[in-house]
């Protein structure tokens, strides 16, 4: 058990039978009364984000989430299959545990799988991924009233805005934290 005053960004703990990760943490001490801690938490099983306020002195059960390097192999309906790079064990991960990461999963990509007691909770993606453009609107040279960009679809089915010079078949680098275009690779 840890005191809620010891919570920091990235801390994982169990509350009411669910596993949470701290996204934001603020300690408040009003002029009168007890201090309280405002947090923004992500439920690692469902992906839901909640705001929770704790009173100073409350305690939660901390846990250790294990990280292991895996390689994405393939997906089949609702399951995404990863392979442990050390043991070659295949690990099925439900799509709801991956959240937005499914937009950037390409065969052979190396990721970090987060687990608690053998239960996959999600993945940490590399900061950027390179994906091939499979569908692109034609870019019209004089069409700059909207900021000189257009919509494209990459090989994973993800849709994003890119500059007009990007064409079908090009490979683009995408920031996995924001889902935005970074640069054209080729």
Separation between Cα atoms, residue 155 and residue 165, nearest integer Å = 18
Task: Write down the CATH number for the domain with range 128-184.
Answer: 2.40.50.140
Separation between Cα atoms, residue 91 and residue 79, nearest integer Å = 9
Mean pLDDT value across residues 152-179: 91
Residues 36, 53 contacting (CB under 8 angstroms): yes
In the prediction, which pLDDT does 17 show? 87
For the chain, how far is it from start to end, CA to CA, in angstroms?
Answer: 51
Structure tokens at 136: 């692109």
In the prediction, which pLDDT does 143 show? 55
Asked whether the predicted pLDDT for residue 116 surpasses 60, the reply is yes
In the prediction, which pLDDT does 141 show? 64
Residues 92, 98 contacting (CB under 8 angstroms): no
Sign of CA dihedral 132, 137, 139, 144: negative
pLDDT band at 175 (very low <50, low <70, confident <90, very high): very high
pLDDT band at 29 (very low <50, low <70, confident <90, very high): confident
pLDDT band at 23 (very low <50, low <70, confident <90, very high): confident
pLDDT digits (tens, 9 = 90+) for 48-84: 889 999 888 888 888 888 999 999 999 888 899 999 9
Third-level CATH fold of 2-62: SH3 type barrels. (2.30.30)
Classify residue 35 by its DSSP letter: -
Per-residue 3-state assignment (H helix, E strand, C coil) for 57-93: CCEEEECCCEEEEEEEEEEECCEEEEEECCCCCEEEE
Residues 6 or more apart in contact with residue 178 via CB below 8 angstroms: none
Separation between Cα atoms, residue 21 and residue 44, nearest integer Å = 7
Separation between Cα atoms, residue 112 and residue 67, nearest integer Å = 6
In the prediction, which pLDDT does 58 show? 87
Residue 136: CB atoms within 10 A of its CB come to 18
In the prediction, which pLDDT does 4 show? 82
- Model pTM score: 0.74
Residue limits of CATH 2.30.30.30 in the chain:
2-62
Report the percentage of the chain scoring pLDDT > 70: 95
Q: For the chain, give the mean pLDDT.
A: 87
Residue 52: CB atoms within 10 A of its CB come to 14
Residue limits of CATH 2.40.50.140 in the chain:
66-124, 128-184
pLDDT digits (tens, 9 = 90+) for 121-162: 888 899 999 999 999 888 666 655 556 788 999 999 999 999
In the prediction, which pLDDT does 129 show? 93
Kindly state which CATH superfamily the domain 66-124 is placed in.
Nucleic acid-binding proteins (2.40.50.140)
């Amino acid at each position: 058990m840890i005191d809620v005053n010891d919570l920091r960004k990235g801390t994982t703990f169990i509350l009411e039978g669910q596993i949470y990760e701290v996204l934001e943490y603020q300690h408040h001490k009003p002029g009168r009364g007890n201090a309280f801690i405002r947090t923004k938490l992500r439920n690692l099983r469902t992906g839901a984000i909640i705001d929770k306020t704790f009173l100073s002195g409350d305690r939660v059960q901390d846990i250790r989430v294990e990280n292991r390097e895996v390689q994405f192999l393939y997906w089949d309906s609702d399951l995404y299959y990863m392979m442990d790079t050390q043991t070659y064990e295949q690990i099925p991960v439900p799509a709801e545990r991956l959240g937005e990461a499914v937009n950037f999963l390409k065969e052979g990509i190396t990721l970090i799988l987060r687990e608690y007691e053998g239960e996959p909770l999600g993945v940490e993606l590399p900061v950027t991924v390179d994906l091939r453009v499979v569908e692109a609107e034609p870019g019209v040279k004089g069409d700059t009233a909207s900021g000189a960009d257009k919509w494209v679809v990459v090989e994973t089915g993800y849709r994003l805005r890119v500059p007009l010079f990007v064409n079908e078949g090009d490979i683009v680098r995408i920031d996995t934290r924001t889902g935005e275009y970074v640069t054209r690779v080729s």
